[in-house]
Amino acid sequence: MSDLESYRAKAAAWLQSMAPTFGRNARKGLSEADDLALGRRYQKAKFDAGFAGINWPTEYGGQGLSHLEKVTFDAEEMKHGFPSFYFGISLGMPVPVLMQFGSDKDFVKERVLKALQGEEIWCQLFSEPSGGSDLAGLRTKAEPDGNGWKINGQKVWTSWAHYSDYGVIVVRTDPNVPKHKGLTYFWVDMKAPGVTVRPIKLAGGESHVNEVFFDDVKISDDHRMSPVGGGFAVAIATLMIERYVATDSAGFGPHLDLFVELAKEIQLNGRPAIEDGRIRQQIARNYAMRSGLDSINVRARLMMQTGMMPGAEGSLNKLVAVRSRQKLSELAIDLQGSDGFLFDEHASQKEDWASSWINAPTGRIAGGSDETLLNTIAEKVLGLPQDHRPDKGIPFNQIPA
């Protein structure tokens, strides 16, 4: 047995032992607050068992293993419906970026350890009402204030901000230069005076995203994680991680195995739907597509492991995965006939086809809309010429609002 296979077996056995306490059946009927409390306990159990921060440096409390072990563990973990998604963004982007760009190493170490154990949650404050997919068009500003800075403005679409202790934020520090050049990257205490978080109710009934207001929020200069005016480079580094880490080939929808189970149960023209050639074709196409995306992901992680920076092909992951999830969910609902209309707003979109379908458009906007991803693929992967950009090279404060 290879080292990776023995690691998979060890991880699978541990996860199996955790499922009765923390898995999908243990979570049924819990309020979100109780589910989060259970999630914190599960994250601590993961840490104690050596399955948190699998591919992170040991000096930060990680295991110092490779991205392959991380992918292997994630694939096994996905089967049991654990409450781990509360920490997905926190441990996926903000905390790794803090490790890379945070200036106070002791502070960083303490934050990382607490985040790994589920004690603290971080959010990512990027999108704004006037600058969602156009991150460089953001208007939240930070002005010098004594030895530090004062932040004013609004962010939107911030996942889990209502549970977050800290966040990473990109703000405009100089409106007199072109839009990409006047940005600076900070971390911010989400409990600081002047920070207001308001949940947004999504179409599927969930409220895990928020709008966040900053009114004269004061931070010291040691919160700064980029050179003044050099924040866009750190933001791009964050988004690069997001394209690979905050994704899965199922587009955060149900695993393909669940569709196969449904097709075995549902009757189509008096026979199990799984025997219909059209259904089998859809299963095969999805399997091939998801395997391709997994291969792109593994290749990117191996590149990161050797110190290389993966390219823009990560945009393919999100674009293709969420679109195909939407189509497969629609097919699953169609197969169920009138039973497909049953809707439970508390059902998991990773396990329930109706919940997956109604929440899929949200996934096609979050983390870069389809249109933005198509532009990225066209320009960075296919080498096509850029769209005309009338605001290119113009000082931000001269761009018509």
Distances (CA, A) of 231 to 140, 174, 189, 240: 13, 11, 18, 14
- Residue 392 within a domain: no
Domain that holds residue 316: 247-381
pLDDT, residue 184, reads 98
Instruction: Indicate whether 270 and 214 sit together in one domain.
Output: no
390 domain-assigned: no
Q: Which of 201, 235, 269 is the last residue of a domain?
A: 235
List the beta bridge partners of residue 213. 154, 196
Task: Give the per-residue pLDDT at 242.
Answer: 66
- Same structural domain for residues 90 and 129? no
Q: pLDDT at position 247, please?
A: 62
**In a shared domain, residues 328 and 376:** yes
Distance from C-alpha of 60 to C-alpha of 44, rounded to nearest angstrom: 15
CATH number at residue 198: 2.40.110.10
State the total domains in the chain: 3
pLDDT per residue rounded down to tens, the chain (401 residues): 678 899 999 999 999 999 999 999 999 889 999 999 999 999 999 999 999 999 899 999 999 998 778 878 988 998 898 999 899 999 989 999 999 999 888 999 999 999 999 999 999 999 999 776 788 899 999 999 999 999 999 999 999 999 999 999 999 999 999 999 999 999 999 999 999 999 999 888 888 899 999 999 999 999 999 999 999 999 988 877 766 665 677 888 898 999 999 999 999 989 999 999 999 999 999 999 999 988 887 787 777 667 777 777 778 888 899 999 999 999 999 999 988 888 888 788 888 999 999 999 988 887 778 888 898 889 888 999 988 888 888 999 998 87
Question: Final residue of a domain: which of 170, 200, 235?
Answer: 235
* Residue 318 and residue 372 in one domain: yes
pLDDT digits (tens, 9 = 90+) for 369-393: 888 889 888 988 899 998 888 888 8
386 lies in some domain: no
Of all helices (H) and strands (E), which one includes residue 142? Answer: strand 141-145
Which residue, 266, 287, 268, is CA-closest to 277?
268
A 10 A CB-CB count for 146 gives: 9
Residues 56, 173 within the same domain: no
| Same-domain check for residues 89 and 151 | no
Domain membership flag for residue 72? yes
**Predicted local confidence at residue 246, as pLDDT:** 56
CB atoms within 10 A of CB 106: 7
Distances (CA, A) of 312 to 118, 151, 209, 247, 275: 31, 31, 26, 14, 39
Note the pLDDT of residue 381: 86
85 inside domain: yes
Task: Estimate to the nearest angstrom the gap between the alpha carbon of 153 and the chain centroid.
Answer: 23
- Domain of 255, CATH number, reads 1.20.140.10
Based on the fold, state whether residues 287 and 361 are members of the same structural domain.
yes
The tokens describing 272, both together, are 């199990």
**And the tokens for 90?**
């926190």
Q: Beta-carbon neighbour count of residue 211 at 10 Å? A: 18
Question: How much is the pLDDT for 132?
Answer: 64
Residue 395 counted as domain residue: no
Task: Note whether 11 and 61 are same-domain residues.
Answer: yes
Q: What is the pLDDT of residue 124?
A: 96
List the CATH number of the domain containing 27: 1.10.540.10
Domain end: 235, 263, 286, which one? 235
At 75 the pLDDT is: 81
Q: Which two tokens stand for residue 256?
A: 């393909």
Asked whether residue 354 is assigned to any structural domain, the reply reads yes
* 315 & 295 share domain: yes
* pTM higher than the cut 0.85: yes
Evaluate whether residue 256 is within a structural domain: yes
- Verify that 133 and 103 share a domain, yes or no: no
